[in-house]
Structures are given as structure tokens and as C-alpha cells.
Amino acid sequence: MSFSSVWVQLYYEGKKEAVGEPFPAHEADLKPGREWNVAELKAAAMPGLDPPSLAMVKVYPPGTTSFTKVNSIRPGRKLANLIEEFEKEKTPPTSDDHPFIVVAPANGLGRNDDTLERIERKLDDMATVAMGMSEATQNFTRELLGAKGIVFKTLPVCTEVLDVTFSNRIYNWGEKEDEKDGQPGCKSMLEHELLPLSLAGRTLGIFDVRGLALPEIHEGKRKSNGFSDLAIGDLESLSLPDTRDLTFGLSAALIELKTGKAALKQGQLLLQLVSFSTISNTQKGVVVLGTDCATKWRLVYFTKSNEITMQQYTCGKKCLDDLSLFIQGSTEKGVALAPSPLPTVTETEFLEGAEDSANTSAYLDAVAHHLAGLFPSEREALTPTVDENRNPPPMIYL
């Protein structure tokens, strides 16, 4: 029997509460190329423990509530055989609904507090689902962006035709061409259609960014990494030596290329946009184009600080014209969508009396508006402190 992972729930002996949430023990965490056994599962569930300490850890079938030596599973039992047995009686531990129960003694494991903290950090990391942008599913993307407080919407397909001759200028993919083969031709085609182009008085160019990693997106229990193909950025600066690592910061648009046979991926484009916005000088004024430079044309961009819009086009010329407009207005848009600066309120604005309560209310409203424009992780990183010497009332500094 083959399976890619089993799920585990950790408990400490004598404690009714589980430690964290169930997490998957993948083949990479165990020993690839062989049948897993219960002893190897214990090692994956309790990283950092030496063999004598692991011998004190017990594994029980899913749903076990009475933890005794008699009903624990012997360390030499093969997981494949156990799962096959469980399938005949109950749901196997291949999902987070029915995980294996791993119980560790509360004391006597021969480890110090640092080791325990390391184990708990490892468990937290194992519970985090990582997925590359190019493989991101719709559910994964929705969960990650939802944790960031971002929603996205899709507009009806734009069918406006601006140039009936545009089809004569598209890139024609060869039968066996991949993205790497087609990129030079696509780049030339886009340069012909888009350039010259400028932003804030600076001439723009199109640059190859393959192999240049976008910033990781991490929120809650979801994280994603990825790459793109082309970027539209500052021609003068990015033509100088040793500036490749500055490309994303000095660019306003990304271009994700697909072959004539490959489909555009919604999750990939959405995650690229969010990641790109964290490093580009234009912030949330950035835009991402997904295309095969032939029949597939799609733009993804921010319409609010916490809202992304996706627009598909049937006419490439119309899509590229809109892309040009987005780029030229990206600086102003980035400023407009940035969180409002937190105001400074002086002590005199907090005089006692009902007539001055409006000042306090207005300040708190401004604080709430500022925080609403931040990602949840950015809000959590703030450390509110109170100046006890101000009376009345104390000031709050973020």
C-alpha cells in the first residue's frame, strides 16, 4: 500500500489538552525509499529527542482516549499494515480528522526547556502548509489571502477589440517549445507593442527575471514562494552592472509567461501580485500580466488596499493598452492605497470635558483606519506602549 503522509496529534501524559493541531508526517520527514514503522513516526513527531527519550514516547490508534502500555502500538509495526487494518474498521490516519495519537511523558524525557521549545517550533512549522506559487490551488490561495485580510474578485471578460490586425503580431509557439524557448520571442513582441513607456519621467524597459525569487508570502499556517518571467522597470538603473537584485524594487509590472498549450493559473497570478507589492517602490500600484503573447491575456491588480481584481481580455491590444495605463499611474495609485499615516495628538487635544470627547473619538477612528490598511501580521508586529506620565489620559504609541 502506498501513501504520501500520515497525520499525528501530540499529547503529554496526564494532560487532556492536545499540543497544537494535528500535523502531517511526510515521507521526507521519515526515511524515503523504505516502509515506515512506528519508531520512525515517533522520531518525526518528536524531533530532537535521543533514542532513550524516544523509547518513552507511545503511539496509539486514532480516537484512543485511554493511554496505557497495553493498547499502545509496538514500535516495529509497519504503518502501511496499520493503515490497511484501520481502513477495515475506521477512517485511517491519512487525514487530520483521524490522526495517530502520540503521547510523551510530561517529565523524564531527558531534555531541557530549550529542547522543548525547539520541538514546539518544529511542530508549528510542520503544521504550516507551504506551496509554490505555480502550484497554488484556489483553496490554498483563498486561505492565504484570507489570512491577510485580502479578497479578490473577477470581472466579466473584456471583449472590446481595438485592433483587428493585432493577431498578425502575436507570438506563434512552436509545437515543442517551452517557456524558456519562447521567452526571447515573447519579450521582443511585448517590447514592440508596449515601448516606449515611462513612469515618473523615467524610461522603462522589459527585463528577464527568471531565477530571481519573489519575497515569500507567509500568513497564519500558509506560506508560498515563487518566481516570474519578465518585469517592466527603470531602464537606466537596471541596465547598470550589479543591479539585478534591485529589479523588483524598481519595477511596476510583472509578466508571467505561459506556452500556447499551458493555462493561466489564477492562484499564481494573485500570489505574485501580493508578493511583488511588498518589494516594489510602487507598492500596491503594481500590476501583473499573465499571457502567452497570443490568445491568453489577463491582468491582476489592486483596486483597494485589501481587494484584488482580475480581468481577462479577448483582445491582446486592449489588454496591453490597459497595462500601459496601469503602469503610468502606478506611483499615484500606490500612494492612494497605502495605509494612512498615524496622526500625532498633543496633550492639549485631550482636555477634560464632554466638549473635547470628539477629539479623542477622531483620534481613535484614525488609529483604526491606519491599522485596517495593514496585513494582520503587520498589525501583530506592532507593540502598543502606554506613557504612564501623561494624565489624563495616557498616550498610546505604535
How many angstroms separate the CA atoms of 7 and 62, rounded?
Answer: 10
Contact 79, 38 (CB under 8 A): yes
Q: Which CATH class is domain 133-337?
A: alpha beta
Which of these CATH numbers, 2.30.30, 3.10.360, 3.10.20, 1.10.3470, describes 5-127? 3.10.20
Give me the pLDDT at residue 398, please. 45
Contact 254, 285 (CB under 8 A): no
For 168-198, write each residue's pLDDT tens digit: 999 999 888 888 888 999 999 999 999 999 9
Beta bridge partners of 207: 231
Contact 215, 247 (CB under 8 A): no
Give me the pLDDT at residue 104, please. 82
How many angstroms separate the CA atoms of 129 and 141, rounded?
Answer: 11
Give me the pLDDT at residue 224, please. 93
SS3 sequence, the chain?
A: CCCCEEEEEEEECCCCCCEEEEEEEEHHHCCCCCCCEHHHHHHHHCCCCCHHHHCCCEEECCCCCCCCCCCCCCCCCEHHHHHHHHHHHCCCCCCCCCCEEEEECCCCCCCCHHHHHHHHHHHHHHCCEECCHHHCCHHHHHHHHHHCCCEEEECCCECCCCCCCHHHHCCCCCCCCCHHHHHHHHHHHHHHHHCCCEECCEEEEEEECCCCCCCCEEECCEEECCCCCEEEEEHHHHCCCCCHHHCCCCEEEEEEECCCCCCCCHHHHHHHHHHHHCCCCCHHHCEEEEECCCCCEEEEEEEECCEEEEEEECCHHHHHHHHHHHHHCHHHHHHHHCCCCCCCCCHHHHCCCHHHHHHHHHHHHHHHHHHHCCCHHHHHHCCCEECCCCCCCCCEEC
Contact 269, 311 (CB under 8 A): no
Domain ranges (residues) in the chain: 5-127, 133-337, 347-397
Give me the pLDDT at residue 149, please. 93
Contact 94, 5 (CB under 8 A): yes
Beta bridge partners of 152: 308
Give me the pLDDT at residue 114, please. 56
For 309-359, write each residue's pLDDT tens digit: 999 999 999 999 999 999 999 999 999 998 766 655 554 454 455 445 555
pLDDT along the chain (398 residues), means of 10: 68 78 63 70 77 84 81 86 74 70 68 54 65 90 93 95 92 87 94 96 96 92 92 97 96 96 94 97 97 97 96 96 97 89 54 53 62 60 50 45
Query: Greatest CA separation found in the chain?
Result: 79
Residues 6+ apart with CB under 8 A from 212: 227, 244, 245, 247, 248
Residues 6+ apart with CB under 8 A from 135: none
110: left (phi over 0), alpha (psi -120 to 50) or beta: left
